[in-house]
Amino acid sequence: MRSIVMLSAMLMLVGCSKFDGEWLEDGVMHPDGYLVSSTGERRMAVKFDVPSTVRTGLYVQRTGVVDAKSVQTDNYFLFDGFNAAQFGGMTAKIDGDHLLANVPLGPVHRFSRVPGHSIFPPPVLFPELVKGNTSPGVGG
């Protein structure tokens, strides 16, 4: 029983992290310390969910949402005193109001938290059950 309580407490700590929420890429940090803004139609978006799920995808500027076909799901874990998160090959840290993420020896990408409504599609998308012309007497 005691181990169940400890496990529950640990899951709550992981799930209630400062990483929770949605983040949208601002750009790449130049080695000299300035930000090179993201250009083009698509930017990376990251969503940390309770207790340890992370979703990544491509944000489509024109529509203002993440492309559902680009979304990938993985698990993340916190380390370094809950100050860093690791998912896939990426490591992320909070720096003030921003999230800084990179792969080893790669550029550092800066993200800002997304306020308000969600930019990610729902976790489960149901397929359409009927397609095509359903008029009586057509094709039959």
Mean pLDDT of 29-36: 86
Rounded Cα distance, 79 and 85, in Å: 6
* 139 domain residue, yes or no: no
Range of the domain at 74: 2-113
Our count of domains for the chain comes to 1
pTM of the model: 0.75
How far apart (Å, rounded) are the C-alpha atoms in residues 19 and 15?
9
- Rounded Cα distance, 8 and 126, in Å: 31
Judge whether 108 and 96 are in contact, CB under 8 Å.
no
Model confidence at 32, pLDDT cuts 50, 70, 90, reads confident
Residue 36: inside a domain:
yes
| Domain membership flag for residue 45 | yes
**Residue 82 belongs to a domain with what CATH number?**
2.40.128
- The answer as to whether 121 is a domain residue is no
Q: What is the pLDDT of residue 51?
A: 84
What is the mean pLDDT of the segment spanning 119-125? Answer: 84
Task: State phi, psi for 97 to the nearest 5 degrees.
Answer: -95, 10
pLDDT digits (tens, 9 = 90+) for 74-107: 999 999 998 999 999 999 999 999 999 999 988 9
Please report whether residue 125 resides in a domain. Answer: no
- Say how many Å lie between the first and final Cα of the chain, rounded: 64
